[in-house]
Chains A and B, each alone.
Chain A
Amino acid sequence: MNTVIKSRYSAEYSKVESALPGRSAPWLVALRAGALDKFSGNGFPSIREEEWRYTNVSGIEKNLFVPTDQPSSATVDKEWLDRFKLPDCWSFVLVDGYFSAELSQLDGLPEGLVVQSLAKTLDTDAEQVKPYFAHAVSDDEHSFVAFNTAWFCDGLFLKVSKKLALTKPVQLLHVTTQQERLSTTRTVIVVEPMAEAQVIETYIGVEQAYLSAAVTEVFVEANANLTLYKVQCESAKAYHFGGTYVKQARDARFIHHNFAFGGLLARSDIHCDLDNASECDLNGLYLGNQRQHLDNHTRINHLQPNAVSREMYKGVLAGRSRGVFQGRVVVAENAQKTDSQMNNRNLLLSDDAEADTKPQLEIYADDVKCSHGVTVGQLDEKSVFYLQSRCVDEETARNMLTFAFANEMVNKLTIKSLHDLVLTQVLERFPQQGISIDWL
């Protein structure tokens, strides 16, 4: 990245710095200063870095994305927001990076559940956040993490106390409402021992170019259970960089469902650190159209023995879109009896679509069960013929099979309203000739 860009962001930073939350917490001020240094030194990631070789982010340098200095809920079209807001959840809405109490619905939170603005928490009781902040991911991970640490203006602090099982999910909505906006949010989710929660992260924005850079740090403590969903429906002109960094204590269970639908260029990083006998299950679906570039990076670190990891990522790529999957599983020397399966399947619907897939296993232990499988291909012609022989015309048969391929991931969703939201998004993105939603 050229120095002009770096200095442009550095110059901008001095304008917003004083308004950033956590100025009274010296540890955070120091973290931010270090992160800014790292970003100023390295700039945004380059394709020379192995982890970024398929994803060129230089497009974002054409614009200077800046945060809003006047956060307001007034810019949000409520009807539009309601299409994404799930009725049976507590909802926490961030508009252009800032918490909006007006648009959120947090009535009846049970005792032991904290759902509040991260900025507010940092300004009133920063010590509550300190044991977690930057503990699941370091600013050395890559430049977007450092960028996020330096720039984040708000986010969510969510904590479920010991043994509490939430009766309904919490939905976090990231809404970007203006062109050339920079939304930098940080989320910290803590699920204490033996607690249970479901959290849904939703990203939406107006049909403009903007940059959404989010980092979510997750702590699933001993015997706790968390299902986290990410529904990324950013605008088709937007840039999205979102990292989810998870630390799982012993016997903790973490299930992730990652739906990458929007964005001109969107990248997700999902990292899980697994302690003894913990389990993670990572599911992903990316649907690319036109010139979209959708990148998914996962890393599972088996740090201790007896942990189980499952991973299934599916991509459907049409038009001139490109899908990237880089999945890495690292099994540490003492992580015996590790059981790991990784799968990535891609369906290419046009000659110009591209899938880059790179599964990596790094195994340092000797008593483990690890497998991976990758496919890139077109629809199975035997299946097309089978459907045709059952009276279905060829176009419908192809649509049905494409849809079915994606729908397998949607069908894993057990929250009805979420299932319907995701299904609608999938249907909107693909030809529907011959597909009848009421039969599904």
Chain B
Amino acid sequence: MLNIENLHVSVGDKPILKGINLQIKPGEIHAIMGPNGSGKSTLSHVLSGKSGYTVTEGTVTYDGKDLTEMAPEVRAREGVFLAFQYPVEIPGVSNIYLLKAALNAIRKHQGLSEVDAMDFLMLVKDKVRLLEMDEKFLYRAVNEGFSGGEKKRNEILQMAILEPRLCIMDETDSGLDIDALKIVSEGVNSLRSPERSFVMVTHYQRLLDYIKPDFVHVLAHGQIVKSGGADLALELEEKGYSWVENKQAAA
């Protein structure tokens, strides 16, 4: 589904990612862990098409297509979804308006007609219940005045409605208390399917207690320095990032 080969990315003149290789198959959950400044967020931004990054070398292929050539909205319509670390507040645009605009953009991309108003409302209300949100949130401006936990839940709500095939979750656990973390994780788990893949970018292991990854990769200094199964996260938690960083230095 997603194939990253020898990806080098710079911001201005400064190289951030220095040769990432990663293969993600349908249905898999990959966790990307790493210390601050290792390039985790850069990776999720580059995959979703944020401007300001230059791919200097390597390729990113999504379903056989060059992802880096696509505008952010085209990636989104093709099924790539970024759950933001810091969801943006958009005063004046209601949540439900954005959801509808987004869903219709996807349907148009797929050659389908606009969603029926009643069907849409049923779908949205259904997902709102799943995430234990108040329906009033739908009619409020996007993320405006939401608490940290509400913003993250709202991201998962969008994900649940847009049904992407590749979900990139950027530090979704940051700023969440245990209850919110549980609700968000349950929401994500309910979206797991043999066709849908996840990339979870996280600093801490605790999210992985709730969403069990198939693979864990450790990013340091712009490279994946170690890959393994879910157990690797536990080992990291115990030994700290210096363990892999030191190993890299020794090598």
B101–A391 CB distance below 8 A? yes
* Per-position binary interface string of chain A over residues 418-440, scored 1 when its CB falls under 8 Å from any chain B CB and 0 otherwise: 00000000000000001010011
Dominant secondary structure of chain B at its interface with chain A: helix
* Per-position binary interface string of chain A over residues 374-413, scored 1 when its CB falls under 8 Å from any chain B CB and 0 otherwise: 0000001111011111111110110011011111100100
* Per-position binary interface string of chain B over residues 98-118, scored 1 when its CB falls under 8 Å from any chain A CB and 0 otherwise: 101111011001000000000
A387–B100 CB distance below 8 A? no
B181 within 8 A of A: no
Report the separation of the CA atoms of residues A394 and B92 in the bound assembly, to the nearest whole angstrom: 17
| Whole-angstrom distance between the Cβ of A419 and the nearest chain B Cβ | 14
**CB within 8 Å for A391 and B71 given contacts A403-B92, A440-B97:** no
| Whole-angstrom distance between the Cβ of B186 and the nearest chain A Cβ | 23
Within 8 Å CB of B91, what residues of A? 404-405, 408
* Per-position binary interface string of chain B over residues 80-106, scored 1 when its CB falls under 8 Å from any chain A CB and 0 otherwise: 011010011011111011101111011
Which listed residue (B77, B81, B82, B92) contacts A404, Cβ 8 A?
A: B92
Q: Which of B107-160 contact A (CB under 8 A)?
A: 109, 141, 158
Report the separation of the CA atoms of residues A394 and B84 in the bound assembly, to the nearest whole angstrom: 18
Report the separation of the CA atoms of residues A436 and B115 in the bound assembly, to the nearest whole angstrom: 14
Most buried by B among A382, A389, A406, A408: A389
B5 within 8 A of A: no
Which listed residue (A380, A385, A411) contacts B92, Cβ 8 A?
A: A411
B76–A434 CB distance below 8 A? no
B105–A392 CB distance below 8 A? yes
> Which residue on chain B has the smallest CB distance to residue A404?
B92
* Per-position binary interface string of chain B over residues 51-79, scored 1 when its CB falls under 8 Å from any chain A CB and 0 otherwise: 10000000000000000000111011100
| Whole-angstrom distance between the Cβ of B60 and the nearest chain A Cβ | 16
**CB within 8 Å for A389 and B82 given contacts A383-B88, A394-B71, A434-B101:** yes
Within 8 Å CB of A411, what residues of B? 92
B50 within 8 A of A: yes
B49 within 8 A of A: yes
* Per-position binary interface string of chain B over residues 182-226, scored 1 when its CB falls under 8 Å from any chain A CB and 0 otherwise: 000000000000000000000000000000000000000000000
Report the separation of the CA atoms of residues A39 and B225 in the bound assembly, to the nearest whole angstrom: 81
> Which residue on chain B has the smallest CB distance to residue A390?
B102
Within 8 Å CB of B76, what residues of A? 388-391
Within 8 Å CB of A392, what residues of B? 73, 98, 101-102, 105
**CB within 8 Å for A385 and B90 given contacts A391-B106, A391-B162:** no
**Tally of A-B Cβ pairs under 8 angstroms:** 84
B72–A388 CB distance below 8 A? yes
Interface size class of B (residues with CB under 8 A): 20 to 34
B42 within 8 A of A: no
A391–B90 CB distance below 8 A? no
B105–A391 CB distance below 8 A? yes
**CB within 8 Å for A386 and B105 given contacts A404-B92, A408-B92, A439-B97:** no
Within 8 Å CB of A394, what residues of B? 71, 73
A389–B105 CB distance below 8 A? no
B73–A401 CB distance below 8 A? no
Within 8 Å CB of B82, what residues of A? 389
Within 8 Å CB of A387, what residues of B? 90, 93, 98
Report the separation of the CA atoms of residues A389 and B94 in the bound assembly, to the nearest whole angstrom: 16
Within 8 Å CB of B172, what residues of A? none
Report the separation of the CA atoms of residues A276 and B51 in the bound assembly, to the nearest whole angstrom: 53
B72–A401 CB distance below 8 A? no
* Per-position binary interface string of chain A over residues 55-72, scored 1 when its CB falls under 8 Å from any chain B CB and 0 otherwise: 000000000000000000
**CB within 8 Å for A401 and B158 given contacts A385-B50, A394-B73:** no
Give the 6 A-B CB pairs with smallest separation, nearest first.
A404-B92, A391-B105, A388-B72, A386-B88, A391-B102, A391-B76
Residues of chain A at the chain B interface (Cβ within 8 Å) = 380-383, 385-394, 396-397, 400-401, 403-408, 411, 434, 436, 439-440
Residues of chain B at the chain A interface (Cβ within 8 Å) = 48-51, 71-73, 75-77, 81-82, 84, 87-88, 90-94, 96-98, 100-103, 105-106, 109, 141, 158, 162
Given A404-B92, A436-B101, 13 additional A-B pairs, CB 8 A: A383-B88, A386-B87, A387-B93, A389-B48, A389-B72, A389-B76, A389-B84, A391-B77, A392-B102, A394-B73, A397-B73, A400-B93, A401-B93
30 A-B pairs in the complex with CB atoms less than 8 angstroms apart: A382-B88, A383-B88, A386-B84, A386-B88, A387-B93, A387-B98, A388-B72, A389-B72, A389-B82, A389-B84, A390-B98, A390-B101, A391-B73, A391-B76, A391-B106, A392-B98, A392-B101, A392-B102, A392-B105, A393-B71, A396-B101, A401-B92, A401-B93, A404-B90, A407-B92, A408-B92, A411-B92, A439-B94, A439-B97, A439-B100
